[in-house]
Amino acid sequence: MTTTGPTPADEGLTEPTFDPTTDYWQSIHTAESLPISPDPPYHRGYPARLPNNQFLILPLRGLPNDPHRCVASLIANQASISVVESLAQVMAQRSKPFSPDFVVGLPTLGLAFAPLVAKHLGHTRYIPFGYSRKYWYTNELAIPVNSITTPEQGKLLFVDPNLAGMLKGKRVLVVDDAVSSGQTMAAALKLLERCEARIVGIAVAMRQGMRWKDVLVDEEGKEIPLAWVFDSPRMVWRDGGWYPEPLN
């Protein structure tokens, strides 16, 4: 692990310093083996608290328009297989009460978790959504999408027409890596409505804030149940360290 918490180089910092992410997301720590303090101020990494008093250290990244505010990052397709497996197992356990008929995985990073969540729920397959358009895809089964990490316009979310019919009238669990503003997930829910699916829940590894609550609702305006593994608050830089902002 690149970061070991406050080091002599961190003492007296006046500006944030960020690590390369090469060695992050590779192992889960117990409280005894955690190499950084579980309490703020944080410096280069954030110890996200998992069930059973375990921790996953996430690298910190400054926001593009405000480097004195940051978020903790989880890039699932760069994480170790054992970390992804552990998070997916918790996601499945917490999603089991939703009793889904199908698991739908969202690109790109949700596809690291979706097949494992489906497996732990006892399913033999899952249904992937994607950003890559195959020549037989249709405009009716595509919807524009953007997110906090990929804000560019013009990206479309697709479902293969050969798979869309399988979702009609079925109970569906939607899996992604994280939820923050809810923009990506809201687009996926609209696409599932076009497939006439019944959305019974959402499962993510990381919950960032609560802004998604007003966005992720069903056709009757009711909040869709969310299963998540750990919280990751936004943070603000002050007095040489990072401090969590209120969860809102």
Q: What is the pLDDT of residues 80-108, one digit of tens each?
A: 999 999 999 999 999 999 999 999 999 99
Range of lowest pLDDT (84-93, 95-104, 216-225, 233-242): 216-225
Please tell me the predicted confidence (pLDDT) of residue 41.
Answer: 94
Average pLDDT in the chain: 89
Q: Where are the domains of the chain?
A: 1-74+232-248, 81-231
Count of CB atoms situated within 10 Å of the CB of 83: 19
The DSSP annotation for 196-224 comes to T-EEEEEEEEEE--SGGGGT-B-TTSPBP
CB distance 58 to 46 below 8 Å: yes
Please tell me the predicted confidence (pLDDT) of residue 65.
Answer: 85
Please tell me the predicted confidence (pLDDT) of residue 241.
Answer: 93
Q: Give residue 2's Cα distance to chain centre.
A: 23
Return the closest-CA partner of residue 98 out of 231, 230, 229, 224. Answer: 224
Please tell me the predicted confidence (pLDDT) of residue 99.
Answer: 97
Q: Where are the beta strands (DSSP E) in the chain?
A: 29-30, 45-50, 54-63, 66-72, 102-105, 127-128, 142-144, 156-158, 171-179, 198-207, 226-231, 235-238, 241-244
User: Which of 152 and 39 is assigned the larger pLDDT?
Assistant: 39
Tokens of 236: 């603000």
Q: What is the pLDDT of residues 167-203, one digit of tens each?
A: 999 999 999 999 888 788 999 999 999 999 999 999 9
Q: What is the CATH number of domain 81-231?
A: 3.40.50.2020
Q: What is the pLDDT of residues 12-59, one digit of tens each?
A: 567 788 888 999 999 999 999 999 999 999 998 999 999 989 999 999
